[in-house]
A = this chain, B = another copy of it.
Amino acid sequence: MNRLTTRLALRLERYAPLRVEDKQALENEALAIRRYAPRDNLAREGNPVERIFVIVEGFASRYKLLPDGRRQITAYMVPGDLCDTRTFALPFMDHSIAALSSVHAIALTPEAVHRWESLPGLALVLARNSLVHQSIAREWLVSIGHRTSFERLSHLFCELFERLNAVGLVHSSACEVPLTQTEIADTLGLSAVHVNRTLMELRRAGLLSFQSKQLIIHDYLKLQLVSGFHPRYLYVASPDEATARAVNEDSCGFF
């Protein structure tokens, strides 16, 4: 098994353990890997759905544009995230997907998806991936609908921290988050100016620093507290549960 497959398997296993045959199925599609530069579109609103994507490296975003040029980012895709496998059941995209950083992604055909779905282990991973992303979208509605700018920022950073941690991309409270302040603004329904000011507040409060794409969380407990963040909605197994899973690799159980 090559390096890429190993890494991808590790990231997908955040959802459920994979068996050898599942990993083999991953490897069979590894040739379909594509590279995208920041701002490249992986898919465009209105276009037919020909491929869906598995993010192996880098950040991507789902977004919609308003007639006046404003943009709403509706989701982040980080390594180990993928599109809903049922997307082929719709005739065209309702939104666009673009790379936020340099991105490596596997582009799956309907046939490849069918092969993956026929393996119980992978099918479970794909189902949970979709459900967790729906759960995240709901939490984002809560944030934009009801939280203050301060809470929104801190909540988003908590979420990214958890999600990146779940796929091994956090090291000693630091991780790479390749987002500009404008992109964060378009995510949280705030102006870029206000995001800037709120980030200052977060820094001054000693909660985190976020410079040149590096997010460092200085006081995670307090950050969770001020933002009302509870990681349940991300369905990340706790350390204990992760251990239990690792012990019994044959099980398909989750929690």
Taking Cβ atoms with an 8 Å cutoff, the residues of A that contact B are: 46, 62, 64, 66-67, 70, 72, 74-75, 84, 86-87, 89-92, 94-95, 124, 127-128, 130-132, 134-135, 137-142, 144-146, 186, 188-189, 228, 232-233, 235, 254-255
CB distance from A194 to the nearest CB of B (A): 13
Interface of A, secondary structure class, is helix
Q: How far is the CA of A46 from the CA of B128 in the complex (A)?
A: 16
14 more contacts with CB within 8 A, not counting A66-B142, A66-B146, A94-B232, are A62-B138, A64-B138, A72-B141, A84-B130, A86-B131, A90-B128, A90-B254, A91-B235, A92-B255, A94-B138, A94-B233, A134-B134, A144-B144, A146-B189
Contacting residue for A84 out of B67, B72, B134, B233, CB 8 A: B134
Q: How far is the CA of A72 from the CA of B142 in the complex (A)?
A: 6
Query: Is B131 within 8 A of A134, CB to CB?
Result: no
Q: How far is the CA of A101 from the CA of B72 in the complex (A)?
A: 32
CB distance from A57 to the nearest CB of B (A): 25
Q: How far is the CA of A70 from the CA of B141 in the complex (A)?
A: 13
Give me 30 A-to-B residue pairs in the complex whose CB atoms sit less than 8 angstroms apart, sorted by A's number.
Answer: A46-B232, A64-B139, A66-B142, A66-B146, A66-B228, A72-B145, A74-B138, A75-B138, A84-B131, A86-B131, A87-B131, A89-B127, A89-B131, A90-B128, A90-B131, A90-B132, A90-B254, A94-B135, A94-B138, A94-B232, A94-B233, A95-B135, A95-B138, A134-B137, A137-B138, A137-B141, A141-B144, A144-B145, A145-B188, A145-B189
